[in-house]
Chain A
Amino acid sequence: MIQLDHVTKSYGTKTAVSDLCLDIGPGELFAFLGPNGAGKTTTIKMMCGLLFPTSGTVRIGGFDMVREGEKARPLLSYVPDQPFLYEKLTGREFLQFISDMYGLPPEYGQERIATVIRQFNLEAFVDDLTERYSHGMRQRTVFASALVHEPKVLIVDEPTVGLDPYSVRQFKDLMRQQAQQGTTVFLSSHSLDVVEELADRMAIINYGKLVGCGTLESLRNQAAVDGSLEKIFLTLTLPDDLRSEVV
């Protein structure tokens, strides 16, 4: 469903992502990890067609994101770390806009909107302008909008930042449910406990290069350490001198 084939992305003279290869299947919940500035957001933006790879190919549902972006984009939903909402639209109008944008037939669109409103408990504020929403209300509305058209690929960047424990629980259930329904979930996060609990497979990126990829067990073998995901992550990403101090 998501294929990154030897993808490299340069910013001027600096390489943000180097020769990255990933192949993620339908219904898989895939976590993408890395320290700050490792190239996670750049990779995600290439998957959404916002940035073009300097070399290599990104495919979504088999479509090349650069040459066939118009076929690939309807399949995916992207929830960025700083999501956008139109301040002068109500939550319901925003959901309607997304439904229309993805071409859902009117009746089916209404049905879907009602479903996500229920699913994310938006009833109390969905008819208020979004400029009055709190952070949690905004996050829930953005997630609802990301799922209203039933995407085949859901890309989520730092989803749990600023959410209360109940909302985090809801989020985890939702991700699992989406994957079970066949949606490919690509999750970028620093919350290693959430990732450890949810992900089928995970990749760790450092300085733009893939340093580990697979299931938790497989990553333990690659890092040659036993223990939690945190220990594996630190082993694979810290420089030698720091690693001996921390791990």
Chain B
Amino acid sequence: MNIPLDTVLTASPRQPVNQFALFNRLRQNLFKNAWSEFRGSSVVRPITILISSIIVITFVFGLSLGGFYFFIFEMKMPPHGFIIEMLVGLLFFSLGVLLVFSGGLILHGSLFSAAETAFLLSKPVDADQVFAYKFQGAIAFSSWAFLLVGGPILIAYALMAGVPWYFYLALPLFFLGFVLLPGSLGAILCFLLVNYLPKQRKQLLILAIVVLLVAVAAWIYYVVRENRALTRSIEPLSEAATQLINRISFARSVWLPSGWVARGLLAAARGDLLSSLYYLALVWSNGLMLYLVAAWTSTHLYRRGFNRVSTGGDIRRKHGGAWLDRGLSLLLPFVDPGTRLLIIKDFRTFRRDPQQFGQVLLLSGMLILYFSNIKRMFVRDIEWPFQNGISLLNLIAVGLLMSAYTGRFIYPLLSLEGRKFWLLGLLPLSRDQLMWGKFTFSMMGTTLLASLLMVVSDVMLEMPFEAMIVHLVTILVLAAGLSALAVGVGALLPNFRESDPSKIAVGFGGTLNLIISLGYLVVTIGLMAGPWHLFLATVPNPEEMTSIFFYPVVAFGLFCGSCLGVITVLLSINLGIRALNRMEF
């Protein structure tokens, strides 16, 4: 057939497209349909989500209210003064750093790996519009926790400090303006890394190891030098506190967005509306400017980066790391070969997904950074009871990380098997083995990571050896219970429709698992580590204390916590196995 090209190209009528409005309509439709499905579902689901949110908000709010009461009314700190401003700055700085990395990681997944992206990029839409659409989703997804934690803290402050009404109005505006900055920075970093990171993975790995080794060496040198200096001159408490404040006062620097937010919010709290508006304008103008830079970067680097991600490596890249699998296999001699294979399969899937292990590394790295800095801030400067309290708080922080890990990565495992479950179903393995396999995989990973973090924390705080034992036993019981809960609830309330693990984790079953896990965490730590830390708080010097195991309450607490762990494991796994055996695939 011979048809002239001009005739073909001018066939059907077209009009200019407002792509911004187009994506808005898409988002509205998706939201509307998801909402009507949500409303049509059982009331248990929305009520559980509501109760879960209320528990988290109340907990953070209550804790913050107590903290600000202590600062403002007990310690007589000025409610609009330098220290509070610095604390607010520190809050925004830490959350901002977290947002840069988590936003960047989520954006990487949604811009370069999602099926939707390939669909959209083959259509007549601009790269920056696709970026804008995905950016909004990623930022909303990565900053909801930011609002859930930051909101109650600042409202607690507002109530204690007695601020004017417009502080409450300024709060969400500062929040929204602020998230644009780390979000855009994360996006720009993501585009630059995707486009310019060297393709040779081995060279890159060697470079990363060298940088890491140099950084660790420098850090050890710095800590040792500082420790010697501290040993030579034991400073009074006030001087140590001043030193601590100096170290963290960078967070309210006038050059940092966290500083603008802190100054702006404190100005609103003082009743200085004009200054507050000035800082609000500063946050928004810089946020929007950085967002524009990110959007401009996307016009030039998005399609190029997509091409590079799709074809960066060899077409049939050999995936190495078999030694890691062999190492894991050697650690599991007590597991039957079939279950061991399932564990290694889950491990391979995990380590080959940068989005998954990246988040674990990020959170663990931040905790290690914090633990290592604790030493410089407190040892020899602050009295023993404080050190004791901080080690308990560190145990809770590690427990929260474990609960986040099991909720985010272990709970979705069974749901992710859903569409290909027939394959596992045909293998000569019982479903019990599948459950125990996932439990062992989770238990091993969680125990190794959490034990490492806890040992670092206790060594840095120079805690007694017995403290380390109590903490490690608590970690073991926590790992077992949290893993069993994640696997068990994962089998009881799976989500076979969703293929994105992060979305499975924030669904109904994931939220329920998180709440049960948090409850288990509080009770276990309360039973196992709580009595011992309470005893220690009454002792002026830990060296004067007889062995902890002679205190009946401590030993009884450890026993009760271990029993709770065993019951949780048996109950969760058995309920999970029953649910799994009833399922049809």
Chain A residues proximal to chain B, CB less than 8 Å: 1, 9-14, 16, 25-28, 37, 45, 48-52, 61-62, 69-70, 73-75, 78, 80, 82, 84, 86-90, 93, 97-98, 100-105, 108, 129, 131, 149-150, 152, 179-180, 182-183, 200
Please give the distance in Å from A80's CB to the nearest CB on chain B: 8
Is A49 a contact partner of B22 (Cβ separation < 8 A)? no
Using known A-B contacts A73-B124, A108-B13, determine if residue A11 contacts B30 with beta carbons closer than 8 Å: no
In the bound complex, CA of A88 to CA of B124 (Å): 22
Task: Name the residue of chain A whose CB is nearest to the CB of B35.
Answer: A88
Instruction: Return the 8 tightest CB-CB contacts between A and B, nearest first.
Output: A11-B315, A12-B314, A27-B1, A84-B119, A73-B124, A74-B124, A26-B3, A48-B122
Task: Name the residue of chain B whose CB is nearest to the CB of A152.
Answer: B8
Task: Name the residue of chain B whose CB is nearest to the CB of A89.
Answer: B29
| Residues of A with C-beta under 8 A to B13 | 104-105, 108
Taking CB atoms and an 8 Å cut-off, the chain B residues in 301-342 that contact chain A are 303-304, 306-307, 310-317
Is B5 a contact partner of A1 (Cβ separation < 8 A)? yes
Task: Name the residue of chain B whose CB is nearest to the CB of A200.
Answer: B1
Using known A-B contacts A14-B315, A26-B5, determine if residue A73 contacts B310 with beta carbons closer than 8 Å: no
In the bound complex, CA of A152 to CA of B121 (Å): 18
Q: Which of B3, B26, B312 has its CB near the most chain A CB atoms (within 10 A)? A: B3
Is B17 a contact partner of A51 (Cβ separation < 8 A)? no
| Residues of B with C-beta under 8 A to A75 | 9
Is B124 a contact partner of A102 (Cβ separation < 8 A)? yes
Is A73 a contact partner of B115 (Cβ separation < 8 A)? no
Q: Does B497 contact A (CB under 8 A)?
A: yes
Is A84 a contact partner of B116 (Cβ separation < 8 A)? yes
Using known A-B contacts A49-B303, A152-B9, determine if residue A105 contacts B15 with beta carbons closer than 8 Å: yes
| Residues of B with C-beta under 8 A to A78 | 122
| Residues of A with C-beta under 8 A to B5 | 1, 26, 61-62
* Binary CB contact string for chain B from 112 to 151 against chain A (1 if under 8 A, 0 otherwise): 0001101101111110000000000000000000000000
Is A129 a contact partner of B33 (Cβ separation < 8 A)? yes
Is B15 a contact partner of A103 (Cβ separation < 8 A)? yes
In the bound complex, CA of A93 to CA of B37 (Å): 16
Interface SS majority for chain A: loop
Q: Please name 13 further chain A to chain B contacts, defined as beta carbons within 8 Å, in addition to the given A88-B34, A88-B37, A105-B13, sorted by A numbering.
A: A12-B315, A14-B316, A27-B1, A50-B122, A50-B306, A61-B5, A70-B124, A73-B124, A84-B116, A89-B29, A89-B33, A131-B497, A183-B8
Using known A-B contacts A26-B4, A73-B123, determine if residue A13 contacts B12 with beta carbons closer than 8 Å: no
Q: Does B7 contact A (CB under 8 A)?
A: yes
| Residues of A with C-beta under 8 A to B304 | 52
Q: Does B25 contact A (CB under 8 A)?
A: yes
In the bound complex, CA of A80 to CA of B13 (Å): 26
Is A49 a contact partner of B33 (Cβ separation < 8 A)? no
Is B25 a contact partner of A73 (Cβ separation < 8 A)? no
Please give the distance in Å from A200's CB to the nearest CB on chain B: 8
Is A25 a contact partner of B2 (Cβ separation < 8 A)? yes
Is B9 a contact partner of A61 (Cβ separation < 8 A)? yes
In the complex, the number of residue pairs spanning A and B with C-beta atoms less than 8 Å apart equals 138
Is A88 a contact partner of B30 (Cβ separation < 8 A)? yes
Is B121 a contact partner of A49 (Cβ separation < 8 A)? yes
In the bound complex, CA of A13 to CA of B311 (Å): 10
Is B12 a contact partner of A11 (Cβ separation < 8 A)? no
In the bound complex, CA of A8 to CA of B312 (Å): 15
Using known A-B contacts A11-B313, A14-B314, A51-B310, determine if residue A27 contacts B2 with beta carbons closer than 8 Å: yes
Q: Does B11 contact A (CB under 8 A)?
A: yes
Is A50 a contact partner of B118 (Cβ separation < 8 A)? yes
| Residues of A with C-beta under 8 A to B1 | 25-28, 179-180, 182, 200
Is A152 a contact partner of B11 (Cβ separation < 8 A)? yes
| Residues of B with C-beta under 8 A to A52 | 303-304, 307
Please give the distance in Å from B423's CB to the nearest CB on chain A: 18
In the bound complex, CA of A9 to CA of B126 (Å): 24
In the bound complex, CA of A16 to CA of B199 (Å): 17
| Residues of A with C-beta under 8 A to B26 | 86, 89, 97
Q: Does B14 contact A (CB under 8 A)?
A: yes
| Residues of A with C-beta under 8 A to B33 | 88-90, 93, 129
In the bound complex, CA of A119 to CA of B349 (Å): 43
| Residues of A with C-beta under 8 A to B316 | 14, 37
| Residues of B with C-beta under 8 A to A150 | 11-12
8 A–B pairs (Cβ distance < 8 Å), ordered by A: A9-B311, A11-B314, A25-B1, A26-B3, A52-B307, A80-B118, A89-B29, A108-B12
Is A182 a contact partner of B11 (Cβ separation < 8 A)? yes
Is A104 a contact partner of B126 (Cβ separation < 8 A)? no
Q: Does B236 contact A (CB under 8 A)?
A: no
Q: Which of A14, A82, A182 contacts B3 (CB 8 A)?
A: A182
Please give the distance in Å from B477's CB to the nearest CB on chain A: 40
Is B22 a contact partner of A101 (Cβ separation < 8 A)? yes
In the bound complex, CA of A110 to CA of B12 (Å): 14
Q: Which of B8, B14, B125, B311 contacts A26 (CB 8 A)?
A: B8
Q: Does B16 contact A (CB under 8 A)?
A: yes
Task: Name the residue of chain B whose CB is nearest to the CB of A44.
Answer: B122
| Residues of A with C-beta under 8 A to B37 | 88, 129
Task: Name the residue of chain A whose CB is nearest to the CB of B304.
Answer: A52
Q: Which of A14, A82, A101 has its CB near the most chain B CB atoms (within 10 A)? A: A101
Is B315 a contact partner of A16 (Cβ separation < 8 A)? yes
In the bound complex, CA of A102 to CA of B11 (Å): 14
In the bound complex, CA of A16 to CA of B124 (Å): 26
| Residues of A with C-beta under 8 A to B121 | 49-50
Please give the distance in Å from B203's CB to the nearest CB on chain A: 13
Please give the distance in Å from B35's CB to the nearest CB on chain A: 10
